[in-house]
């Protein structure tokens, strides 16, 4: 559990983070979302003490971070920096293996882990292992940066806009990979983004920041249903709200008995995907692969504005 307690950071006149308090449960993904300059990075960087708070405290499992040796604290926390920050004079493999090496892992184990991570991020180990960051595309650099943060399988990971430079397809896959890894390892992830879509897709909890303040901290469904302010509503994009709501629910929630024609949809698909399939193929109902069907009317009812 990470407890952020009245954390404030001032840079001269600007208050980058203004008395933020929130609790991040172990084994969950918390996404911090907000416009540029709202203090997301600064808040995150106070957790691993890259920035020292002006006031307030961070506790990890009850232990105040202020009393720990900064570099030892940071070794326990994976960190994917905004803009990757790879070491230009080290190969991809050496970059990814940096933290395991610090922790004294045996060489063979590090090499194995590096290849595993490269494969996970769809980069052929043989082709990429020995290259230098300067020879990679922006998206590849970013994936190596995220791989470096994951390398030692830390319990806590901080990721600052880890998918910003990825194209939509790879981005989507990287998000799914991250969610899967997180579920497998049960790690606690705090991720910064300015993309509400990403926040809703990935977050168990979403923290919305505006001008240094935490304006809402809640489950994605709650944020969509009850945005705490006009700012949060704007972040959500009013016209997209019904679709965002649907993207959080699954076909399995609405299966009813009966048949329907055409291509079947998986019970794990989101209602948004089901709606899309209905509209695209002009059908009023879809068969569900696992049995039963889902109707357009039922989906529509879920997208209505909550009372």
Partner 1 sequence: MKSGLILRPFLVVLLLAMVLRPVWFTPLLAPLAPENGPVIYERASLWSLTISHLGLVLAASLSATVVAVGLAVFVTRPIGAAFLPLSRTVTNIGQTFPPVAVLALAVPALGFGAGPTLVALFLYGLLPIFDNAVTGLRTLPPVTMDAARGIGLSPSQRLRTVELPLALPVILTGVRLSVVIALGTATIGSTVAARTLGEVIIAGLLTNNTAFVVQGGVITGLLALLIHDGLVLLEKRLSA
Q: Where does this chain bind ligand ATP (CB under 6 A)?
A: 11, 14, 16, 34, 36-42, 82, 194
Asked if 74 touches partner 1 (CB under 8 A), the answer is yes
Question: Applying CB under 5 A, which residues contact Mg ion?
Answer: 41, 82
State the nearest-atom distance from the C-beta of 213 to ligand ATP, in Å. 12
Rounded to the nearest whole angstrom, what is the least distance from the CB of residue 87 to partner 1 in the complex? 6
Instruction: Considering only the stretches 71-79, 161-169, 201-209, 234-242, report the one whose residues sit in contact with partner 1 under the rule CB under 8 A.
Output: 71-79
Residue 37 binds which one of ligand ATP, partner 1, Mg ion, none, with CB within 5 to 8 A depending on kind? Answer: ligand ATP
The entry of partner 1, ligand ATP, Mg ion, none near residue 42 (CB within 5 to 8 angstroms by kind) is: ligand ATP
Fill in the per-residue mask, 28 to 67: x = in contact with partner 1 (CB under 8 A), - = not in contact. --------------------x-x-----------------
Secondary structure, 3-state, the chain: CEEEEEEEEEECCEEEEEEEEEEECCCCEEEEEECCCCCHHHHHHHHCCCCCCCEEEEEECCEEHHHCCHHHHHHHEEEECCCCCCCCCCCHHHHHCHHHHHCCCCHHHHHHHHHHHHHHCCCCHHHHCCCCHHHCCHHHHHHHHHHHHHCCCCCEEEEECCCCCCCHHHHHHHHHHHHHHHHHHCCEEEEEECCHHHHHHHCCEEEEEECCEEEEEECHHHHHHCCCCHHHHHHHCHHHHHHHHHHCCEHHHHCECCCCCCCCECCCCEHHHHHHHHHHHCCCEEEECCCCEEEHHHHHHHHCCCC
Q: Does 113 help bind partner 1 (rule: CB under 8 A)?
A: no
CB-nearest residue to Mg ion: 41
Q: Does 104 bind partner 1 (CB under 8 A)?
A: no
Residues that bind partner 1 in the complex, under the rule CB under 8 A: 48, 50, 70-77, 79, 81, 83-89, 98-99, 102, 145, 148
């Amino acid at each position: 559990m990470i407890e952020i307690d009245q954390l404030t950071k001032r840079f001269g006149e600007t208050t980058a983070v203004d008395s933020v308090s929130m609790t991040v449960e172990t084994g969950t993904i918390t996404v911090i979302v907000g416009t540029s300059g709202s203090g997301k990075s600064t808040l995150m960087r106070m957790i691993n003490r890259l920035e020292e708070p002006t006031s307030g405290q961070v506790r990890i499992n009850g232990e105040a971070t202020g009393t720990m040796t900064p570099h030892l604290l940071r070794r326990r926390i994976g960190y994917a920096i905004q803009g990757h920050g790879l070491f230009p004079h080290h190969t991809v493999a050496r970059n990814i293996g940096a933290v395991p090496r610090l922790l004294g892992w045996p060489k063979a184990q590090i090499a194995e882990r590096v290849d595993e991570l490269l494969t996970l991020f769809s980069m052929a180990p043989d082709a990429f292992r020995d290259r230098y960051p300067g020879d990679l595309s922006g998206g590849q650099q970013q994936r190596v940066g995220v791989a470096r943060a994951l390398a030692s399988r830390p319990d806590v990971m901080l990721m600052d806009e880890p998918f910003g430079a990825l194209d939509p397809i790879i981005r989507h896959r990287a998000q799914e990979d991250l969610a899967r890894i997180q579920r497998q390892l049960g790690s606690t992830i705090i991720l910064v983004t300015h993309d509400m879509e990403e926040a809703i897709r990935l977050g168990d909890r979403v923290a919305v920041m505006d001008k240094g303040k935490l304006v809402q901290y809640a489950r994605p469904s709650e944020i969509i249903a009850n945005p705490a302010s006009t700012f949060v509503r704007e972040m959500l994009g009013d016209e997209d709200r019904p679709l965002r709501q649907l993207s959080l629910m699954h076909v399995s929630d609405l299966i009813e008995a009966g048949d329907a024609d055409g291509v079947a949809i998986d019970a794990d698909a989101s209602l948004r995907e089901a709606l899309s399939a209905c509209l695209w193929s002009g059908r009023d109902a879809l068969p569900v692969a696992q049995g039963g069907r889902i109707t357009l009317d039922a989906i529509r009812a879920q997208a209505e504005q909550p009372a």
